Amino acid sequence: MDRLRAMQSQQSPTRPGQKKAKVTVHGPSRWKVLLTSNPPPVEGMLSPDFLLSSISALLLAHCSTLVAEVITLAYGGFTVSCDRVATQEELYAIRDGATPLFLAGAHVMAILPTSMLYLKLVDVLYLSLAGQTIAPEKVLEFIHRLLVASSVILMAPLQVVCNLVASDTATIYLNIANMVSGARAKEVIGKPLQMGGKVTYICAAKANPGVALCQCCWKWGHLSSAC
């Protein structure tokens, strides 16, 4: 038996299977409420303090004990930091308190962040016939035409990356809010998107494995303690 064990120990160890890169990463505290709108709010148009007052007043009118403590600009919209996790009814109250302050006709949503889904659009035309580079705002216009546009809740600004120096195509990275069940991933991944006469598809993108993710600002490269 000892000889058999010795022979086995001399054999090269089996290589472990390669880990699959994560597409979804757990998000910030659920004590924060993510407030977004379609179209997104214009920078500098809304005062966070004024928005906080409006939301707090409506929570009080609904006899809610939830305390909205502070509002900050984040994830392409606002985050409302609360003293506990908001219920669904309180999310409706936060949405209704914020809606009158956004652009007329804007679709405002108040949700609990759970995780971040990393997506990309590949081989998007980077240059137009006039030689102009594609703007993130233009990409958003195309995305808003999707039937599943309500599921594309941006958590950070779009990133347009030219594939090569002399290339006329680009890869567009977008991070959206996902559910623990992965429902939004199933809804949007693989969907075709018509952009400037060319069809591209929404694909899964790799997260940043091995890189620290801050739970305060939800950005890569540092821990929450160093935010």
pLDDT in tens, 67-124: 999 998 877 788 899 999 899 999 999 999 999 888 888 888 898 876 778 889 888 8
Say if residue 125 is in the same domain as residue 171: yes
Instruction: Region of 71 please: left (phi>0), alpha (psi -120 to 50) or beta.
Output: beta
Q: Are residues 163 and 136 in the same domain?
A: yes
CA–CA separation, 144 vs 195, rounded Å? 12
> What is this structure's pTM?
0.51
Same domain, 38 and 93: yes
Q: Is the pLDDT of residue 225 over 70?
A: no
Asked if the model's pLDDT at residue 27 lies above 60, the reply is no
Instruction: Tell me whether residue 3 is in a domain.
Output: no
How confident is the model at residue 86, as a pLDDT? 92
Q: Considering the domain boundaries, does residue 157 fall inside one?
A: yes
According to the model, what pLDDT value does residue 96 have?
93
CB 146 within 8 A of CB 140: no
pLDDT > 80? residue 37: yes
127 in a domain, yes or no? yes
3-state secondary structure of 11: coil
Cα 200 to chain centroid, rounded: 20
Exposure b/e, 192-227, CB count within 10 A at least 16 = b: ebebeeeebebbbbebeeeeebbebbbeeeeeeeee
CB atoms near residue 127 (< 10 Å)? 14
Considering its fold, how many domains does the chain have in total? Answer: 2
Residue 59's domain spans which residues?
28-111
Dig out the tokens for 155 from the structure. Answer: 């958590």
CATH of the domain at 144: 3.30.70
Poorest-pLDDT segment among 150-154, 188-192, 206-210: 206-210
Estimate to the nearest angstrom the gap between the alpha carbon of 125 and the chain centroid. 23
- Residues 150, 74 share a domain: no
Asked, for residue 149, whether it belongs to a domain, the answer is yes
Residue 139 resides in a domain = yes
pLDDT at 29 over 50: yes
The confidence score (pLDDT) of residue 162 equals: 85
pLDDT at 26 over 70: no
1-15, 59-73, 178-192, 209-223: which range is least confident on average? Answer: 1-15
Check whether residue 103 and residue 122 sit in a common domain: no
Q: Are residues 34 and 79 in the same domain?
A: yes
pLDDT reported for residue 14:
42
Residues 107 and 121 reside in one and the same domain: no
What percent of the chain stands above pLDDT 70? 74
Residues 97 and 125 in one domain: no
Q: Using alpha carbons, list the distances in angstroms from residue 201 to 108, 122, 148, 194.
A: 26, 7, 13, 9
Q: Which residue has the tokens 């939301």?
A: 55
Note whether residue 138 is domain-resident: yes
Tell me which of 69, 95, 111 is where a domain ends.
111
Confidence band, pLDDT 50/70/90 cuts, at residue 227: low
